[in-house]
C-alpha cells in the first residue's frame, strides 16, 4: 500500500472517530457501557505512550537518579496534579530536565 | 443607567461572533507553547523516517493529530504492516470519541457544515480549551460555536506552520535540544488531572506497567496491548462497583 493511501486511511478513521458522537447526537443511543469504556481511553492510551518514554528513554530500563527524563517527568506529574495547567507542566518539566541533565 | 459592580454571566451582553472567535484563539494560545516545538520535531522526524516533505505536510492536514502522526512516522520507518499502523493510530485516536461525546450536545442545533468542521478540528488541545471555557460558566452565549472554531483554527494554523518549519529546517534542527520531551509533558498534563479516583489510578498503573513489560514487542504493539489492558481493568473495576 502506498504511504499516501495509508495516510488517507488513518485520516478517514480519525475523522470518523471525531465525528462519531457529534453526528449520532439525537439519532443513535449508545449502550451505557460503551460510554463507560470510553472514559478510560485517554488515561489508558496516553499513559501507555508516556511511561516507556520516561523509564526507557533509550529503549532499555533506566531507573536511576541520573535519568533526567524520569526526574523531569515525576516533577511534571507533581506540577500537573497541583496546578492542572498544561503551561506550568511544560515549563516546569523543561526546567527540571535542563537543570538535571 | 444604574451602576453595576459585578455582572453575572447572564446580565452581561452576549459576545459577538467575532469576540467569541477571538476568545477561542486566546484560550488556546497558552497550549501552543507545547504544540509548536512538537510540530517542528514531527516535521523533522517525518523526513528522517523516509517520508517525503509533501507526505509529511499532507499528513498534518489529513490526520491532524500530533501523537498519532509521531507514531505513524515511527511505524513507517520501522516498516510496519499497514494493518498494524491503522490499528495503532485508531486506538491512539479513540480518545477523541470521548471529546466528540462531550461536545455533541453543545453543537446539536448547528448546521451540518459546522458539525463537520468542528469534528475535524477536535484535538486534545481544542477540547481542553473548550472544556475549560464550559467549566468557567461563561459559555452560554448564542455564538459560542465561534469560540470552538477560534480554538480549533488557532491550533490548526499553528500545527501546519510549525510542521512546515520542521520540514524546512529538517536535519538542521539542533539534536541536543530535548524538544521531543514536549510530547510526554503535554500528555502528563492531560492525564494527571483525569486520575481522580482509584479506578483511573488502576487504569494508569496497568497501562503503564504493561507498556514497560511489552516495550520489546515490534512495531510498538506493546502500546496497543497495554492500552487495551488498562481499559479492560477500568471496565472491570467500574462494572463491579456499579
Task: Encode pLDDT of B12-41 as tens digits.
Answer: 778 899 999 999 999 999 889 888 988 998
Q: Which three cell numbers stand for residue A22?
A: 457529534
Sign of CA dihedral A36, A37, A40, A42: negative
A46 interface with B at CB cutoff 8 Å: yes
8 Å CB contact between B193 and A84: yes
Residue B184 to residue A48: CA distance in whole angstroms? 11
Mark yes or no for CB contact B185/A93 under 8 Å: yes
Nearest CA in chain A to B120: A15
Sign of CA dihedral B189, B191, B195, B196: positive
Mean pLDDT of chain A: 92
| Segment B106-159, tens digit of pLDDT | 999 999 999 999 999 999 999 989 988 887 877 678 899 999 999 999 999 999
Both A47 and A92 in one domain: the answer is: yes
Residue B41 to residue B3: CA distance in whole angstroms? 53
pLDDT given for residue B10 in this prediction:
56
pLDDT given for residue A36 in this prediction:
85
Neighbours of B54 (CB within 10 A): 10
Both A72 and A35 in one domain: the answer is: no
Residue B26 to residue B161: CA distance in whole angstroms? 18
8 Å CB contact between B52 and A1: no
Residue A35 to residue B97: CA distance in whole angstroms? 9
How far separated are the first and last CA of chain B, in Å rounded? 55
Backbone φ, ψ for residue A12 (5° rounding): -65, -45
| Complex prediction ipTM | 0.91
Both A95 and A75 in one domain: the answer is: yes
Full domain range(s) for residue A11: 1-39
Place of cell 514487542: B217
Nearest CA in chain B to A6: B82
CB nearest A47 (choices: B94, B182, B207): B207
Mark yes or no for CB contact B85/A10 under 8 Å: yes
Residue B196 to residue A22: CA distance in whole angstroms? 26
Mark yes or no for CB contact A40/B192 under 8 Å: no
Number of domains in chain A: 2
pLDDT given for residue B179 in this prediction:
75
Q: Which three cell numbers stand for residue B10?
A: 447572564
Each domain of chain B, given as residue ranges in start order, spans 17-177, 195-242
Contacts with B, A 9-38, CB within 8 Å: 9-11, 13-15, 17-26, 33, 35-38
Both A48 and A59 in one domain: the answer is: yes
Both A28 and A61 in one domain: the answer is: no
Both A49 and A87 in one domain: the answer is: yes
Both A73 and A48 in one domain: the answer is: yes
Both A51 and A32 in one domain: the answer is: no
Neighbours of A95 (CB within 10 A): 13
pLDDT given for residue B241 in this prediction:
52
Residue B93 to residue A11: CA distance in whole angstroms? 10
Of B110, B80, B59, nearest in space to A8 by CA: B59
| Segment A36-74, tens digit of pLDDT | 888 999 999 999 999 999 999 888 888 888 999 999 999
Both A33 and A78 in one domain: the answer is: no
Mean pLDDT of chain B: 89
Both A93 and A69 in one domain: the answer is: yes
Residue A23 to residue A27: CA distance in whole angstroms? 8
Amino acid at each position: 500500500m502506498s504511504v499516501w493511501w495509508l495516510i488517507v486511511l488513518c485520516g478517514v478513521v480519525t475523522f470518523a472517530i471525531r465525528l462519531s458522537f457529534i453526528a449520532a447526537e439525537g439519532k443513535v443511543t449508545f449502550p451505557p457501557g460503551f460510554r463507560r469504556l470510553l472514559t478510560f481511553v485517554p488515561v489508558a492510551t496516553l499513559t501507555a505512550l508516556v511511561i516507556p518514554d520516561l523509564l526507557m528513554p533509550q529503549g532499555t530500563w533506566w531507573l536511576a537518579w541520573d535519568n533526567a527524563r524520569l526526574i523531569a517527568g515525576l516533577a511534571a506529574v507533581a506540577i500537573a496534579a497541583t496546578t492542572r495547567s498544561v503551561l506550568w507542566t511544560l515549563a516546569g518539566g523543561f526546567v527540571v530536565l535542563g537543570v538535571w541533565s | 443607567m444604574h451602576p453595576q459592580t459585578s455582572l453575572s454571566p447572564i446580565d452581561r451582553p452576549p459576545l459577538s461572533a467575532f469576540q467569541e472567535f477571538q476568545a477561542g484563539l486566546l484560550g488556546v494560545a497558552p497550549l501552543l507553547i507545547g504544540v509548536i516545538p512538537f510540530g517542528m520535531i514531527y516535521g523533522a522526524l517525518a523526513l528522517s523516517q523516509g517520508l517525503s516533505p509533501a507526505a509529511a505536510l499532507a499528513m498534518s492536514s489529513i490526520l491532524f493529530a500530533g501523537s498519532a502522526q509521531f507514531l505513524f512516522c515511527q511505524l513507517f520507518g520501522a516498516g510496519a504492516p499497514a494493518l498494524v499502523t491503522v490499528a495503532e493510530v485508531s486506538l491512539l485516536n479513540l480518545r477523541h470519541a470521548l471529546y466528540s461525546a462531550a461536545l455533541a450536545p453543545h453543537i446539536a442545533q448547528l448546521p451540518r457544515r459546522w458539525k463537520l468542521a468542528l469534528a475535524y478540528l477536535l484535538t486534545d488541545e481544542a477540547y481542553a480549551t473548550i472544556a475549560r471555557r464550559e467549566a468557567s460558566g461563561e459559555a452560554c452565549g448564542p455564538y459560542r460555536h465561534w469560540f470552538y472554531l477560534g480554538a480549533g483554527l488557532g491550533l490548526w494554523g499553528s500545527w501546519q506552520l510549525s510542521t512546515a518549519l520542521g520540514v524546512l529546517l529538517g536535519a538542521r534542527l539542533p539534536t541536543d535540544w530535548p524538544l521531543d520531551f514536549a510530547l510526554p509533558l503535554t500528555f502528563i498534563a492531560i492525564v494527571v488531572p483525569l486520575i481522580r479516583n482509584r479506578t483511573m489510578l488502576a487504569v494508569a498503573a496497568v497501562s503503564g506497567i504493561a507498556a514497560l513489560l511489552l516495550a520489546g514487542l515490534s512495531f510498538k504493539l506493546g502500546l496497543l496491548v497495554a492500552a487495551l489492558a488498562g481499559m479492560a481493568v477500568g471496565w472491570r473495576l467500574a462494572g463491579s462497583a456499579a
